Amino acid sequence: MSLSNLCRHILLLSVLALHSPLKAEVTLLIGEPFGAFGAFNPTGHAAVYLSRVCAESPVKLRMCQPGESGVVISRYNRVAGYDWLAVPLLPYLYAVENPRDVPDWVDARTVAKLRDGYRRLHLRQIAPDREDEEIPHGDWIQLIGAAYDRSLHGFTLPTTPGEDERLIAYLNQRPNRRRFNLFYRNCADFVQEIINFYYPRAVRRSFVADLAISTPKHAAKALVRYTRRRPELSYSQFMIPQIPGRRPSTKLRGVSESLIRSKKYVAPLIILQPWVAATAATAYLVSGRFNPAAGLQAVCEPGALEACMTSRKGPLLVSSQGSSAHAGH
């Protein structure tokens, strides 16, 4: 190879390196409960963010191209008959495609307009138009604009290109039809399957705290405990705050915690079945306590979302006003 060809070859490799993801992650995302269903079932929602995997469509995955920011995948109950659906990161959180379009404050009307605008461009196969051209009913709204309803916590570990490619093949090839069951095949069961695809046995359900029901909170607890036993792993933790304007989301809870901390549940139990209340309290104290924000390293805002979520520079907190402060842990 001549010197000039060698130089061009080195230059090409350098350009490819600059425009390719130098690192990639799998992130467990757990969303806080909100609204009427959140009051009834305060376990929240779980999803997986993959920084190097993108959505060719909501039901088909591919490797990302330079400049793309990855995809959020989750299991849903009643959305077009599918088991899982994939949405790009920014639309999943804010129902827009440009960070500059994320509003500083929202009300219900604004959120509905943003969601419907994105649906008309990208999700008509999932949520088709109504005959009267009004916004269609249904649970498709869970796919986009999550940060208008709730705050989310993220727990991140690295992946390799080979692992990402194998996951894409695995999900693309298997049947993607509705399999949801609240007790043994819910959203937390799905993220457990995906995280364990990369890190076997990293996430497990709790037979004590959650009565063997998978919950987002215990999935996060299990993953944090997994990383503590393996300090060599490059691990990070962040939060995405809820956009102000609507009723704030509430704290994540597990099964036993929900029973003893919710008056509508614990009061009847104490009166009618005090042994059940005592058992739930013991289970919570023994195995159910966990604060998702305890190891927080960053609070991620829309303008620097991807860089914040993948940063491992230490406990830098970026506030909603854009200022920075170091937090001690």
Cα torsion 71, 72, 75, 81: sign: negative
Q: Which of 214, 249, 251 is nearest to 75 (CA)?
A: 214
Residue 294 confidence (pLDDT): 85
> Which of 110-114, 221-225, 285-289 has the lowest average pLDDT?
285-289
Full DSSP string of 193-213: HHHHHHSTTSS---TTTSTT-
> Per-residue pLDDT for 206 more than 50?
yes
Residue 174 confidence (pLDDT): 93
Q: How high does pLDDT run on average in the chain?
A: 81
CA distances from 86 to 137, 140, 168, 215 (A): 20, 12, 12, 20
Please say whether the beta carbons of 71 and 24 come within 8 A: no
Full DSSP string of 309-329: HH--SSSEEE-TTS-EEE---
Residues with Cβ within 8 Å of residue 295, at least 6 apart in sequence: 224, 237, 329
Give the structural domain span for 158: 22-252+292-326
Residue 322, in any domain of the structure: yes
pTM: 0.82
Residue 7, in any domain of the structure: no
> Per-residue pLDDT for 308 more than 90?
no
- Angle, CA of 252, 253 and 257, to the nearest 5°: 160
Residue 10, in any domain of the structure: no
Residue 206, in any domain of the structure: yes
Residue 213, in any domain of the structure: yes
Residue 305, in any domain of the structure: yes
Please say whether the beta carbons of 43 and 219 come within 8 A: no
> Percentage of residues in the chain with pLDDT exceeding 90?
56
Residue 32 is encoded by which pair of tokens? 């806080």
**Which residue shows structure tokens 């046995």?**
201
Residue 268, in any domain of the structure: no
**Highest mean pLDDT out of 10-19, 87-96, 244-253, 301-310:** 87-96
Per-residue pLDDT band for 112 (boundaries 50, 70, 90) equals very high
Per-residue pLDDT band for 286 (boundaries 50, 70, 90) equals low
157: three-class secondary structure by DSSP: strand
State how many domains the chain has: 1
**What is the bridge-based pairing of β-strands 298-299 and 236-240?**
parallel
Residue 284 confidence (pLDDT): 54
Residue 85, in any domain of the structure: yes
What average pLDDT score do residues 102-109 get? Answer: 96
